[in-house]
A and B are shown apart, each in its own frame.
Chain A
Amino acid sequence: MAKLKYYQAFNRALREELARDENVIVMGEDVGESGGIFAQTRGLHAEFGGVRVRDTPIAENGFVSAAVGAAMTGLRPVVEIGFEDFLTCCMDPLVNQAAKLRFMLGGQVTVPLTVYTFGSGGVNAGPQHSQSLGAWFAQVPGLKVVTPSTPRDVLGLFKSAIRDDNPVLCLFAKRLIGASGEVPEEGEDFTLPIGRSEVRRTGNDITIVGVSTMVRAALAAAESLAEENAIEAEVIDVMSLSPLDCDTIIASVMRTGRLCIVHEAHGPCGIGAEIIARVSEQAHDVLKAPPWRITPPFAPSPFAPVLEKAYLPSAARIGDEIRGRLA
C-alpha cells in the first residue's frame, strides 16, 4: 500500500483515466495550467494538453450542458464544479438533460458524464460555499451520486465514475482535501463499485451510518464510546447516495437493533430520512429503539468559526447523543 492525500488520490485517478482512454476530457474553471484551487488537477494540462484539459468560462449552465452534448456524441467528459453550492447553477443540464436524455431518446444515446465538486463545510466558507446537496440529486432517476470519504475511496470511486456509462456526480469534501490514507500502489488499476456501502468498524450495540466527513466523526465517537462506556458501535460509510446500498445497513441493524445516521446535509427529506424509511419498511421488527438522525440545524451554514463549530455534527455530539440513549 502507498500513502496519499485525498487530493493526490483525486489527481492520480484522473491522470490514470486520461492516460487509459483518449475519449476522457477534463473541463471546468481553473482545471488547466493553474491546476485548481486545491491543486487537484496539477500537472494534467502539461501532460495531456489544452484540448483535453480545458479551462472554461465561469458559466456552469453552459459548460455542463456542453459536456452533456459531448458525452452524447462519444467523449467521456469529467467536469469540475468548484464548490458543491454551484451545482445550483447547472441544475438544468444535470437534471433535465444528462439524467433524462437516454430515457427520453429511447436508449439512442448514453451519457458517460462525470461531474465532480467539493462540498461539505468546516472551513468557514459561509452559506454559499459549505453545502452538502447530494440528496437533491439522489432523487433524480438517471443520475448516480457518490461521496468518497478516504483517499482510497476517492481513487476507486472516481475512476469507476469516469468509466460508468451514466452521469455520475462525485461529491468530494473540501475539509478532507489534505487528509492522508492508504491506497493501492501506483500502477495498480484500482476501482470500487458504485452503489456499495462499507462497514468501517464492527460492533454489536448500535449501527452508526455516516456520510462523507461524518464517517470520521462517527469513527472517533465510536472509539470514545468503546473506551468510556463499553458501547461497541458499528460504523458504516454509505459511499454512494444513489444507488443507495441499504442491504449492508439492514444486515448491521439486524444485529445491533439500533440505528443512528449522521450527515452534514439538512435532515428533512435527506439521506438519513431515506435510510430510516427503508429500514422501517424492511426490518422494523428488529429495531429495539427509534432510529434517529444527527444533522445540522435547519439553517444555512454560518460563517463565524464559533458558530460553524456548533452547527456541524461532531464526534462529541454523536457520542453524547448515543450515550444519552443507550447508557
Chain B
Amino acid sequence: MSKLTQQAALGMHRAMCRIRYFEEAAAAKYKEGELPGFIHLSIGQEACAVGVCATLTPEDYITSTHRGHGHCLAKGGDAKRMMAELFAKEAGYSQGRGGSMHIADVAVGMLGANGIVGQSMPLGVGAALTAQVKGSGAVAVAFFGEGASGAGVAHEAMNMASLWRLPLVFFCEANRYAELTPYETHVPLANVADRAPAYDMPGVTIDGGDVVAVFETMEEAVARARAGHGPSLIEAKTYRWHGHYEGDPQKYKPEGETEKEKARDPIMRFEALLRESFGVAAAGLEAAHAEEKSAIEAAVAFAEQAVDPTPDGLTANVYA
C-alpha cells in the first residue's frame, strides 16, 4: 500500500474536487459570456497537479503553463482571487492585468502560468538556481506539456539543469493534444521521458490519471532533488477532456475518445481506492464534493461582485 496517510489522501481528494469544480464553473461562466479573452482548462488532468503539489512545501516553487488553474489551486492558491482574475477584476491575483494565462500566487510558490509554450522550463531552472545558490533547500517543479517538449528551450533547460545538478523536477503532462494536433505530430518517441538519458537524468513515464502514482513518483524525484542529486523528468500520460481553449470545436478528436477517457475519471478512480484501501466512507467523499462545490460557488459570487479595475491604474507595476 502507498505511503500516503488517510489524512493526506483526503486532502488530495479535496484538491482534485476543487480543481474540477473551479474549471467547470469557469467553463460555464465563459459560455455565458462573463469571462473575457480566452481560457484553457485542465479538466481530466487533476491528478497531475494534485499529485505533484502534495509532495511540495510552500517554500518550494512551481512554474506553470497556459493551462495553469489546477497547478495554482493545488499549490495553495485562493479560488476567490483566482476566479476574480478570470473575471478581470481588481480583486484578482493580478488586479485583472494578467488573466487566466498568468494566474499566480507567488506567496505559495506558484510563480505563474505563462503564455509562451516552453518557458516554464527555463523559468523553473531559474527558481531552482536560486534555491541552489542560496542553499535554501527548496526544490522547483516545472510543468510543461508534450507540445513544449519540442521547443528549443525545453532542451536548453534540461541540459542546464543536469549540468548544474539543480533541485528541479521537469513534469510533463502529456495530455494527448498539443493545441489542436495529436501527440504523434509533435513527438517522434512513444514517451517524452525516453529523452531523459540524453540529459543524464532519471526519466519515467507514469499513468497521469493515478494520483497515487504521481505522488509516489514525485516523492522520489523531490527527495533526489533536495538531496542535491539533480533533476528528474517525469512524464504523466493524461487526457484533456476539453478543447485547447473553451469554445474549441475539437473536430480533431476521434469520436468517442473523450467519453472513453471520462469513464476513467481520475477523481472516480481515486475515490474507489479511498473506499477500498483507505477505508473512507462514501458519505465522507460526498461531503467533500459538496463543500468544494460550494466553495467554488462562493468564489464565483465573490468574483461577480468584485469591482472592475480603473484606467488610472493602467501603468501600475510596469516598473518597480
Contacts and interface: CB of A to CB of B under 8 A. Distances in A.
B119 A65 contact: yes
Contact of B157 (A54, A66, A75, A110): A66
Interface in A75-104: 75, 77, 92-93, 96-97, 101-104
A271 interface: no
A30 B119 CA distance: 24
A107 B95 CA distance: 9
Given A56-B160, A57-B160, A73 B116 contact: no
Given A105-B112, A106-B95, A59 B102 contact: no
A144 B319 CA distance: 9
A103 B92 CA distance: 13
A228 to B, nearest CB: 45
A106 B317 CA distance: 7
Contacts of B131: 73
A214 B95 CA distance: 43
Contacts of A106: 92-95, 97-98, 317
Contacts of B274: none
Contacts, number: 143
Interface residues of B, number: 45
A59 B94 contact: no
Nearest to A64: B122
A71 B315 CA distance: 22
Contacts of A112: 320
A57 B163 contact: yes
Contacts of B163: 57
Contacts of A62: 122, 125, 152-153, 156-157, 159-160
Nearest to B317: A107
Interface string B118-133: 0100111111011111
A104 B129 contact: no
Interface of A: 23, 25, 51-52, 54, 56-57, 59, 61-63, 65-75, 77, 92-93, 96-97, 101-112, 141-142, 144, 165-166
Sorted nearest first, the 9 A-B pairs with minimum C-beta distance are A69-B126, A62-B156, A106-B94, A65-B122, A165-B320, A69-B123, A59-B156, A70-B126, A73-B130
20 contacts: A51-B132, A51-B133, A61-B152, A62-B153, A65-B119, A65-B123, A65-B153, A66-B129, A70-B130, A71-B126, A73-B111, A93-B119, A96-B116, A102-B318, A102-B319, A104-B102, A105-B104, A110-B320, A141-B315, A165-B320
Interface of B: 61, 63, 92-95, 97-98, 102, 104-107, 111-112, 114-116, 119, 122-127, 129-134, 152-153, 156-157, 159-160, 163-164, 315-320
Given A62-B125, A96-B115, 17 more contacts: A51-B132, A62-B152, A62-B153, A65-B122, A65-B126, A67-B126, A69-B123, A70-B126, A72-B106, A75-B129, A96-B119, A105-B102, A108-B106, A110-B320, A111-B320, A142-B318, A166-B320
